[in-house]
Structure 1
Amino acid sequence: MNTSPQHPTDPRLDRLRGAAAPRRHNARTIAALTTNPGCARRAVLDTAGVDKDALARHVGFPAPFGQSQFAITRGNAFEAQLKADGCAELLQLLRETLGLDLAEAAYTDLEDVGGVDTQEVRHRHSVQKLTHAADDSGTLFDHPLLRLPVAGEHVYLEPDLVAFAHEGVFHVVEIKSFAVIDGQADPDKVAAAAIQSAVYVLALRRLLGRDDVVSPDVVLVCPADFSNRPVATKVDVRKQLIILEHQLRRLTRVEALLDLLPPGLTLDLEPDERGHPTRSTAELTAALGTLDARYAPGCLSSCELGFFCRDEAGGRTDALGTSVREQLGGVETVAEALAIADGTWDVPDEQAEAAARLRASAPVYADALTGRAPAPTAVPALSVVPALPPAAPLPVVAP
């Protein structure tokens, strides 16, 4: 990957990051950008290449990220099984899912470039093969190396596989080791796989220079039930593509966010002779607090600073979830919401709708605590704790 500084024309990003080399993006970190596009803190830190994991550990809020070794080993074994003998087992799935004619299918491994394994050489080789793939209808391209510009940096990406199906349309194939049990999969894991696949779709579209030759329907392959028997389904990632492109454009306009920061702000983690950051925890916490955050509960599973931001958001309506924050319409703290509900807060005109909902909810809540039936109300009550959506079944196509 290109290790040149990001946004070299703006020294504020280098100063913010400090002496450390910029952290490199990959498909997972790019996908994570879509989970909370309104967070200025994350936009600035990711553009500067700040090591958010090291920062979170130093301020006392480490994030328990990462897969277990067992999950990694199982995933590698499942992928190897699918790709054995020229992707024979995977081809059986694609024949049903994409209408691929096995009689015309071929397999090309783009990882082998005559013993030269530099990313630039592999990327050029992938570009050459993929841009001339129209003459090889029905070819499966394994280990292509794509490239996507992110905040001034070329990020190299390697999807599990790209299938060139009939009618001249590419499909990205994403292989995951989480199970589909009785036709259903964990909706959070499916959503994460869809976002990551959208990163590959966007990179492939940029490589080919056309959107219409890369399908927004990616093929997700998972093990069925408690076995290694694979099942596949098409997942539409058009929504994820829109969000992803918006957030990438936002990163390229980070200068407007930097203009709002104090001059000379830095989050430098330069270590002393013992390997500990020279700056105190209190100093770094204060510096981090100058970056505007937009915490939501989903940040805990997608951002290294999620636990820090949750602690920082204590007592604020942000901590109750995105839907509550939007319904409350500018009511920033739980104390303010309670004061509005009991009528002891002078409500400005722009919060009138939220105030009406809160005041209608107050007697309903009080009646629930005392066990009385709530009195009818014409104003819809605000649900302070958003309900969890039911797990939607994931349609699958068995081999």
Structure 2
Amino acid sequence: MSTPHDPSLRERLAALRGPGTEARPLDARALAALAANPGCRRRALLDAAGIDKGAVAETLGAPARFGQSRFAFSRGHAFEARVKRDGCAELLRLLGVAAEEDGGAAVLPDLGAPGPAGRVARTRMALAEAAPGVWTLLDHPLLTLDVAGSTAYLEPDAVAIAPDGRWTVVEIKSFPILDGGADAMKVGAAARQAAVYVLALDAVEPARTGTDVLLVCPKDFSNLPTAERVDVRRQLAVTRRQLARLTRIEEIAAALPEGTTFDLGYAADGRTVTRPRAELSAAVDTVPAAYAPECLSACELAFHCRDRSRDDGRVDALGRGLRAELGELTTVESVLAAAAGLAGDPDDPAVAALRRAAELRAEALAEAAKEGAA
């Protein structure tokens, strides 16, 4: 769960969720998506407050259907259990530990403790007390990472500590590695998620964690685990830079109108929402968003934000690349006006390019009309 440091901010974020509403956890997958769009204050605030964006989107009538199915979720848990059974013997094999080395086993510290803070403390203790010369495996350790003034709790599948003291993040995924390769998009998503874990480990002790993570997946069409080393240096640099760019949560919260809340107003049955859609929509729209088409695969509120972007005629809905090319021209109306010579600075490269494109289009249409008349 993500918790802000300032008690007054913590109370403000609790009020945004609504009385008695438990905060949703902010996991590595959500952090990776947030880092991919650091300019979106809406997602940053709602994630920091632990608000269920899926339930908000449902109430707004713009749900986003993505994520793991129940079948895929169950399959993933079953595969992870296979990788870790018998004292993580299979995982040790994939790490390159010989079967006869230390009896084929590793030290598996007990990381159990009451509450997130207790688990974090126990994880830090296990990292510090790992004995040199032997392998140590931390099964679902709990780490923390400061994100724009809030503390996010993160839980990697495993962290391996080699005899030389090097830490390695282990990501276990249920998508297959076929003929030595895996789906590039899925590997990329796993690498971005693993980069978040590396950042969290660096916060414990810098330079101890390797930038090559171990990705464990089923081999071909079997359930036999296999592994690949994935270099996440690029994802690590991007994620670190993007998270640093996030506006601090207290600044976003302070800019909200008094009384703003995203409480869905659940009835006594705990399922029926009583909050009027228009009222909730107005509350959501008080927080600036930075919509891009990539949001459709990463954020539950993407369809609502896309509709708003289209209603406002913003060029953001056409993609980040085009948005960057157009510079100060932020709406479709301003782009058309610039192309027609009715607005815009002629010395602006974007305006000049639009006007030249309009001229070429007019010439092509005139030529086509001549050929048609002939």
TM-score scaled by length of structure 1: 0.78
Give yes or no for the alignment of 1:62 onto 2:63: yes
Residue aligning to 1:313: 309
Residue aligning to 1:73: 74
Q: Shift of residue 245 of structure 1? A: 3.9
3-state DSSP of counterpart to 2:275 = coil
The answer to which of 322-331 and 46-55 deviates more is: 46-55
Letter in 2 for 1:65: F
Cα distance between partner residues in 1 of 2:338 and 2:39: 26
Q: Shift of residue 59 of structure 1? A: 0.9
3-state DSSP of counterpart to 2:287 = coil
Residue aligning to 1:225: 220
Cα distance between partner residues in 2 of 1:222 and 1:149: 30
Cα distance between partner residues in 1 of 2:118 and 2:236: 28
Residue aligning to 2:336: 338
Give % identity. Answer: 49
Q: Deviations over 1:355-395 (max 9, x none)?
A: 233334446667899998xxxxxxxxxxxxxxxxxxxxxxx
Residue aligning to 2:371: none
The answer to which of 143-152 and 324-333 deviates more is: 143-152
Residue aligning to 1:393: none
Cα distance between partner residues in 2 of 1:371 and 1:349: 26
3-state DSSP of counterpart to 2:329 = coil
Residue aligning to 2:35: 34
Letter in 2 for 1:302: A
3-state DSSP of counterpart to 1:49 = coil
Residue aligning to 2:106: 107
Q: Deviations over 1:40-79 (max 9, x none)?
A: 1112222223221221111111121331222123222322
Residue aligning to 1:267: 262
Give yes or no for the alignment of 1:296 onto 2:297: no
Cα distance between partner residues in 2 of 1:84 and 1:16: 42
Cα distance between partner residues in 2 of 1:136 and 1:22: 41
Residue aligning to 2:187: 190
Residue aligning to 1:390: none
Q: Shift of residue 36 of structure 1? A: 0.7
Residue aligning to 1:386: none
Check conservation: 1:310, 1:319, Cα contact below 8 A.
yes
Residue aligning to 2:372: none
Q: Deviations over 1:159-215 (max 9, x none)?
A: 2121222542111111111122344322322222112112222222223xx221111
Instruction: In structure 1, list runs of 5 or more residues that go unmatched.
Output: 373-399
Instruction: State the superposition RMSD in angstroms.
Output: 3.2
Q: How many residues align?
A: 361
Match of 2:167 among 154, 159, 170: 170
- CA distance change for structure 1 residues 40 and 147 in 2, over 3 Å: closer, same or farther? closer
Letter in 2 for 1:331: L
The 5 A counterparts of 1:142-153 are 142-150=139-147
Cα distance between partner residues in 2 of 1:317 and 1:189: 29
Q: Deviations over 1:251-273 (max 9, x none)?
A: 67223333433333222322345
Residue aligning to 2:22: 21
Cα distance between partner residues in 1 of 2:74 and 2:268: 37
Cα distance between partner residues in 2 of 1:359 and 1:144: 57
Cα distance between partner residues in 2 of 1:294 and 1:182: 39
Residue aligning to 2:354: 358
The answer to which of 303-312 and 18-27 deviates more is: 18-27
Check conservation: 1:44, 1:258, Cα contact below 8 A.
yes
Cα distance between partner residues in 1 of 2:222 and 2:318: 38
- CA distance change for structure 1 residues 256 and 152 in 2, over 3 Å: closer, same or farther? closer
- CA distance change for structure 1 residues 347 and 132 in 2, over 3 Å: closer, same or farther? same
- CA distance change for structure 1 residues 122 and 39 in 2, over 3 Å: closer, same or farther? closer
Residue aligning to 1:382: none
Check conservation: 2:314, 2:331, Cα contact below 8 A.
yes
The answer to which of 32-41 and 45-54 deviates more is: 45-54
3-state DSSP of counterpart to 1:135 = coil
Q: Deviations over 1:214-271 (max 9, x none)?
A: 1121111222332223332222223333444455555672233334333332223223
